[in-house]
Amino acid sequence: MREGERDAWRTLMGCAVERCSFGELALLYLVPRAATVVAKEDSVVWVIDRKNFKDILMKVSDEKIQEYVKYLSRVEILNSLLAAEKLQVAKALMEKHFSKNDVIITQGDPGTTFYILFEGDVAVSIDGDEKARLQASEERGTAQYFGERALLRNEPRAATVRVVSKDAKALALDKEAFDLLLGPLEDIMARKELPGGGGTKAVAPPAGGLHGGRDPSRPKILMSDLQKVGLLGAGGFGAVELWEHKATHETYAMKCISKGFIVKTGMQDSVITEKNILFMTNSDFIIRLYETYNSKQSIYFLMEPALGGELYSMYQRKGFYGSEKHAKFYTAGVLCAFDHLHERHIIYRDLKPENLLLNEKGHLKVTDMGLAKFVIGKTYTTCGTPDYFAPEVIASTGHTHAVDWKGISAVKFPPQLSPQCVDIIKAICQKEPADRLPMLTGGSKNIKSHAWYKGFNWDKFQDFTLEAPFLPKVKSKKDLANFSVHPDELPRFIEYVDDGSGWDKDFATC
């Protein structure tokens, strides 16, 4: 706002004066206005709409991608790539930041990652003797590359590369990501030698398949073998209920989503993706999916129950705000879940206390993969909970799994913090994605070894022998006491009329 004064009225929310801004969520996505703003006097307001805002930011992003393509064009072993393939690889490059004396690669280690140095100086050593120095400058547009043979085969590194400038920046791509994106480089190089060789390849699913299904060694659980126990939760999509197996008396969480709601909100692809993502995971820190079902009006996810309740509700009821002991334990669970997801090129994108559940032993489990996505490189979708958006999501410049680490700030940290706690939060929540603690050399181990976690037994934590700081009261496998929901909270029924598109035909596992 340039000049003048405006009120958000009826229930007065506040007064916007010169240099204030409002309506910023409209730049991210279509959402109903939360308040009415009325001019109290003649005013001049500067306005930008969503399309122009996104176009400006995407132009900046596109220019950076084209610069990456130029870097790739200088790499001899990538000469076999077509222009479209180089563009795909450029979009998949991950920016890494290093400090002086950081070792980027070590002689003798398995070679799995290719690097393009675009800022800073590094020394190349063999058997302890410095053999060369590589210098790069982002300002001058000069770049150096090393480790390119890692894209061909996993062979030991021939040299050690260490940062000798104050800091350095590099682009990185590992062999697994390259193979998923385009297929083995050896095949691409061979293709160039063949008459008529050419064409591009779509992103391939990971080993086992992006659409890899349920564990075939486990007996199927038919929906007819189950009976409803009660209600665990409700949302705009439908209900989450507790169901019991009639013969074994094991209990499960059943997420029921109205097909009418799915079609009305255009979520057909999203629910299929959620199913596929869940079947790609196999971690004790993530809610497991056992089966999926399909009926005339709804689809269903049969999942592992976590009867200790939501972390958010538990904090509200028990007042654990201020306890570093609790924050430490629960963020450790999130870290282990993210390690598992990121190894599989999955970005979670919706970390918040409401999506963290506790089992009967007080251990944390991440749930709700509705916004999770399999990604090689960056994705550009604006999604998540606005209160927890990372800067790069707002900027629409593309985001990687670094957004998940920024999201750890959504987990309940105490209001009065120890110096070590302040330090780890600042280190994780850096504005630049590549500067966040788990994105630096060492990855998530940087969090585990941080001073805030001094004395924390990670081995016991990961094998679930470390006692939880809070033990929920769960009397039986059918105890609903830790969930507070009323049937009146269920959404209005939306009838589904099959349009013949067949979007749901392969959804059910049995």
Euclidean distance between CA atoms 277 and 275, whole angstroms: 6
Same domain, 274 and 183: no
Place 27 in a pLDDT band, splitting at 50, 70 and 90: confident
What was the pLDDT predicted at 215? 76
State yes or no: pLDDT of 28 exceeds 80.
no
Residue type, 310: E
Could you report the per-residue pLDDT of 361-376, keeping only the tens digit for each?
A: 999 999 999 999 999 9
Measure the CA–CA gap between 211 and 11, rounded to whole angstroms: 50
Nearest to 405 by CA among 456, 440, 362: 440
Q: What is the pLDDT of residue 312?
A: 93
Is the per-residue pLDDT at 59 higher than 80?
no
> Quick check: 55 pLDDT over 50?
yes
How many residues in total does the chain contain?
A: 510
Sign of CA dihedral 252, 258, 264, 268: positive
Encoded tokens for 417: 């913090």
Given a contact cutoff of 8 angstroms between Cβ atoms, the answer to whether 381 and 438 are in contact is: no
The reported pLDDT for the residue numbered 473 is 97
Q: Name the DSSP letter for residue 493.
A: P
Q: Is residue 41 part of a domain?
A: yes
Same domain, 445 and 368: yes
Q: How far apart are CA 185 and CA 78, in angstroms?
A: 8
Q: Are residues 336 and 409 in the same domain?
A: yes
In this structure, what are the phi and psi dihedrals at residue 293, rounded to the nearest 5 degrees?
-125, 160
Mean pLDDT over 386-403 rounds to 87
The answer to whether the CB of 29 falls within 8 A of the CB of 60 is no
Tell me phi and psi for residue 291, to 5 degrees: -145, 165
Q: What is the pLDDT of residues 89-128, one digit of tens each?
A: 999 999 999 999 999 999 999 999 999 999 999 999 999 9
DSSP 22-83: --GGGGTS----SS-EEESS--B-----HHHHHHHHHHHHHHHHHHHHHHHHT-GGGTTS-H
Whether residues 332 and 408 share a domain: the answer is yes
Domain co-membership, 436 together with 361:
yes
Model pTM score: 0.82
Q: Quick one: CA dihedral 90, 91, 93, 99, positive or negative? A: positive
**Residue 470 covered by a domain:** no
Which segment of 1-10, 116-125, 312-321, 455-464 scores lowest on mean pLDDT? 1-10
Predicted confidence band of residue 74 (pLDDT cuts 50, 70, 90):
confident
Q: What are phi and psi for residue 159, nearest 5 degrees?
A: -155, 165
Q: Which of 210-219, 254-263, 433-442 has the lowest mean pLDDT?
A: 210-219
- In sign, the C-alpha dihedral spanning 103, 106, 109, 112 is positive
| Residue 13 is assigned to a structural domain of this protein | yes
| Burial degree of 420 (CB within 10 A; 0-12, 13-18, 19+) | middle
- Is residue 205 a part of any domain in this protein? no
Mean pLDDT of the chain: 88
Q: Does residue 375 sit in the same domain as residue 483?
A: no
| Out of 176-180, 274-278, 456-460, least confident range | 176-180
On whether both 60 and 181 belong to a single domain, the answer is: yes
Which residue's entry shows tokens 């293709």?
191
**The pLDDT of residue 2 is above 60:** no
pLDDT higher than threshold 90 for residue 42? no
pLDDT band (50, 70, 90) for residue 8:
low
What pLDDT score was predicted for residue 48? 84
Q: For residue 148, what is the domain's CATH number?
A: 2.60.120.10
What per-residue confidence (pLDDT) applies to 5?
56
Task: Please indicate, yes or no, whether residues 334 and 429 belong to a single structural domain of this protein.
Answer: yes
Percent of the chain exceeding pLDDT 90 equals 61
Mean of the pLDDT values across residues 274-292?
96
* DSSP β-bridge partners for residue 238: 235, 257
**Do residue 327 and residue 439 come from a single domain?**
yes
Report the pLDDT value the prediction gives residue 92, as an integer from 0 to 100. 92
Residue 277's CATH number: 3.30.200.20
Poorest-confidence range of 57-66, 273-282, 359-368, 395-404? Answer: 57-66
Would residue 397 count as lying in a domain?
Answer: yes
- Positions annotated as catalytic residues are 350
pLDDT band at 214 (very low <50, low <70, confident <90, very high): low
Mark whether 442 and 329 lie in a shared domain.
yes
Domain residues for the domain of 232 are 223-306+479-489
Pairing of strands 238-245, 356-358: unpaired
Burial of 312 (0-12, 13-18, 19+ CB in 10 A): middle
Count of domains observed in the chain: 4
Q: Is residue 209 part of a domain?
A: no
Q: Are the C-beta atoms of 42 and 4 separated by less than 8 Å?
A: yes
Residue 302 and residue 176 share a domain: no
Helix (H, G, I), strand (E, B) or coil at 298: strand
Report yes or no: 251 and 244 within 8 Å, Cβ to Cβ: yes
Mean pLDDT of 29-56: 78
297 and 326 in one domain?
no
User: How far is 470 from 235, CA to CA, in rounded Å?
Assistant: 27
CA nearest to 262, candidates 274, 270, 254:
270
Say if 181 falls within a structural domain: yes
pLDDT over 70, % of the chain:
90
Cα dist from 287 to 10, 21, 97, 355, 356, whole Å? 44, 41, 33, 10, 10
| CA 209/CA 189 separation, integer angstroms | 25
Per-residue pLDDT at 235: 82
**pLDDT higher at 162 or 51:** 162
Residue 402 is encoded by which pair of tokens? Answer: 């670094």
How many whole angstroms from its chain centre is CA 465?
28
Tell me how crowded residue 204 is: count the other CB atoms within 10 A of its CB.
Answer: 14
Residue 36 lies in a domain: yes
